[in-house]
Homo-oligomer: A and B are copies of this chain.
Amino acid sequence: MTSGKRVTIADIARMAGVSPGAVSFALNGRPGVSDETRQRILAIVEENHWQPSSAARALVGARANTVGFALARPARSLGSEAFFTDLIAGIESRLSESKVSLQLRLVADIAEEMEVHRQWRSSNQVDGIILIDPRDDDPRSDRIATLDARAVLIGSKPSPEGAVPSVWIADDEVAETLFSYLAALGHTRIAYVAGPAELEHTRLRAEVLDRMAADGVSGEVITTDFSPARASAVTRSLLSARLRPTAIVYDNDVMAVAGLRVAQEMGRAVPRDVSIASFDDSVIAGLINPSITAMTRDTFELGEQAATLLLQQIVAGINLPSAQGPTPTLTARESTAPPTAAP
Contacts and interface: CB of A to CB of B under 8 A. Distances in A.
Interface of A is mostly: helix
Nearest to A60: B55
A88 B101 contact: no
A239 to B, nearest CB: 15
Contacts of A269: none
Contact of A78 (B85, B96, B107): B85
Sorting the interface of chain A by its residue count into under 10, 10 to 19, 20 to 34 or 35 or more gives 35 or more
B283 A80 contact: yes
A79 B82 contact: yes
Interface string A172-199: 0000000000000000000000000000
Given A53-B123, A92-B104, A105-B102, A261 B283 contact: no
Contacts of A66: 103
A27 interface: no
A92 B79 contact: no
Nearest to A258: B287
Nearest to A299: B79
A284 interface: yes
Interface in A101-120: 101-107, 118-119
Given A85-B78, A92-B104, A54 B125 contact: yes
Contacts of A55: 55-56, 58-59, 64, 123-125
Given A55-B64, A79-B89, A260-B289, 5 more contacts: A6-B122, A53-B124, A58-B58, A80-B282, A92-B104
